Amino acid sequence: MTGTTQALHDLPAHALLRAYRDRSLSPVEVMHDLLAHVQRWEPALHATYLLRPEAALARARESEARWLRGEPAGLLDGVPATVKDNIATRGDPTPVGTAAMPQVAAPLDAPPAARLREAGAILFAKTTMPDYGMLSSGLSSLHGNTFNPWDPDKTPGGSSAGAGAAAAAGYGPLHVGTDIGGSIRLPAGWCGIFGLKPSLGRVPIDPPYTGRCAGPMTRSVADAALMMQVLSLPDARDSMGLPHQEIAWHSFDMDPAQVRGLRIGLLLDAGCGLPLQPRVRAVVEQAAAWLESAGAHIERIEPWLSRDMLDGLDHFWRMRSHVEIQSLTDAQRRVILPFIREWADSAAPLTATQLFVASQQSHLLRTATVRATAAYDYVLSPVAPITAFPAHLPSPTNDPLRPLEHIAFTVPYNMSEQPAASVPCGHDGQLPIGVQIAGRRFDDLGVLRLSRVLEQLRPPQPAWPQPVQSGQDRAQTASATPA
């Protein structure tokens, strides 16, 4: 097979598949290039877990043989992909980012990993996450720290930290993250990639949990739509899964003229949380202006998230983590990030009444979100009120008693089960800024289509970051267990 002068690791999935089909590229060529690229980047980013080059090359050779026979295994045969640490892969431990978890091999692939393998994708690595997925940063007692490719002094966000960093750095085209309060959209926004949190149950996941979704993290809407063809296939293990629906994911490529007449809400005040940085506000307002110029009707929306709602979610999640951590041995508890331990232990004094009131806030937020957004086809807002914060911090506030101040724009849609995406639309210096598009429940394709419109209306984006030179110094930092 003949090669190409273009960097193979930068090719989108649909381009790779086209090249495999016409035999201008081989999955083996692509995997060799990708692994060399990851080797150059990884000491500085520390985005991967269970990176297995030899196994990846073996799968690539198998894929190459299938393509030569004209018998690809599935829609994604030979395309490199990663899944997040907390998505089980058969035979591997699933430590959910913490050194406290025993290293027990998973008996089966979780649904997202199973669907990717069935489609022929090459799962060459898993990606990092913070302890229990309860931080919007890359800090982990197991993985060390993960850094942002645009500025390694900044966080990539979390909890899908490694997936966000890997996608921006060119670790292949396809990555899967999970999201219970913003964990796909926040790293997507801060790493300058596209991320979709689907409607709850659209992508089967195991174990299911209120608000918890798995979804694609890619460099383009096109690759996310391609992934959704595979990830949305049914799996009986998800007791919260939606009935399978034939969705024309391939029709994502919406012409900007088709937004004419759409009613789009513009939310610039979340109701609580961190104040909106001026540059972030300007990028969201510019995105709204692009859509308005294409014929959409833009209307300002008043905030609906309250302090009681946000604190209720926080207190309920604290207690959930507190109960889980209390079941561990003293030795296991000691290795958990101190920030997470302090956050979880702060739930111990909560009374039964306080915990009940906290538990009801998710439903109150659900109904408030649906009510506030029902009149609109879509809602446009910031993903986060700030750009990426320093990588050494577990959260923007660095305060375990104020840990959720940055998720006020994202978490409502987890509770309301509505699809929401992060689309890169601007920069503050070298730091990317994402714009969030939320749709009505089940309108995942519509969110992809409007996201594609923004891709077309925005100006050309900066070139993707390249491997930094100070890899050895960064590697020493990344491999150290955070204090």
**Confidence at residue 469, expressed as pLDDT on a 0 to 100 scale:** 59
Alpha carbon distance 232, 222 (integer Å): 15
**Confidence at residue 471, expressed as pLDDT on a 0 to 100 scale:** 41
Active site residues: 84, 159, 183
Kindly report, residue by residue over 236-254, the tens digit of the pLDDT.
999 999 999 999 999 999 9
Residue 266, pLDDT > 90, answer: yes
**Confidence at residue 479, expressed as pLDDT on a 0 to 100 scale:** 37
Kindly report, residue by residue over 45-80, the tens digit of the pLDDT.
999 999 999 999 999 999 999 999 999 999 999 999
Cβ density class 31-47: b for 16+ within 10 Å, e for less: bbbbbebbeebbbbbbb
Kindly report, residue by residue over 290-332, the tens digit of the pLDDT.
999 999 999 999 999 999 999 999 999 999 999 999 999 999 9
Whether the CB-CB separation of 230 and 203 falls below 8 Å is answered with no
Dig out the tokens for 344 from the structure. Answer: 């979880």
Token pair 């997925």 is at which residue? 133
Q: How confident is the model at residue 6 (pLDDT cuts 50, 70, 90)?
A: confident
Backbone CA torsion sign across 166, 7, 448, 252 = negative
- Kindly report the CATH number that applies to the domain delimited by 8-308+359-457: 3.90.1300.10
Residue 481, pLDDT > 60, answer: no
Alpha carbon distance 214, 180 (integer Å): 9
Q: What is the mean pLDDT of residues 377-393?
A: 98
Task: Record the pTM.
Answer: 0.95
**Confidence at residue 468, expressed as pLDDT on a 0 to 100 scale:** 76
Dig out the tokens for 277 from the structure. Answer: 């940085």
Q: How confident is the model at residue 480 (pLDDT cuts 50, 70, 90)?
A: very low
Residue 448, pLDDT > 80, answer: yes
What proportion of the chain, given as a percentage, has pLDDT over 70? 96
Q: What is the mean pLDDT of residues 401-419?
A: 98
* CA distances from residue 450 to 100, 223, 303, 370, 387 in whole angstroms, order as listed: 42, 15, 22, 19, 23
What proportion of the chain, given as a percentage, has pLDDT over 90? 95
**What one-character DSSP code corresponds to residue 174?**
E
Mean of all residue pLDDT scores within the chain: 95
Burial class (CB in 10 A: 0-12, 13-18, 19+), 277: middle
Q: What is the mean pLDDT of residues 198-218?
A: 97
Kindly report, residue by residue over 108-149, the tens digit of the pLDDT.
999 999 999 999 999 999 999 999 999 999 999 999 999 999
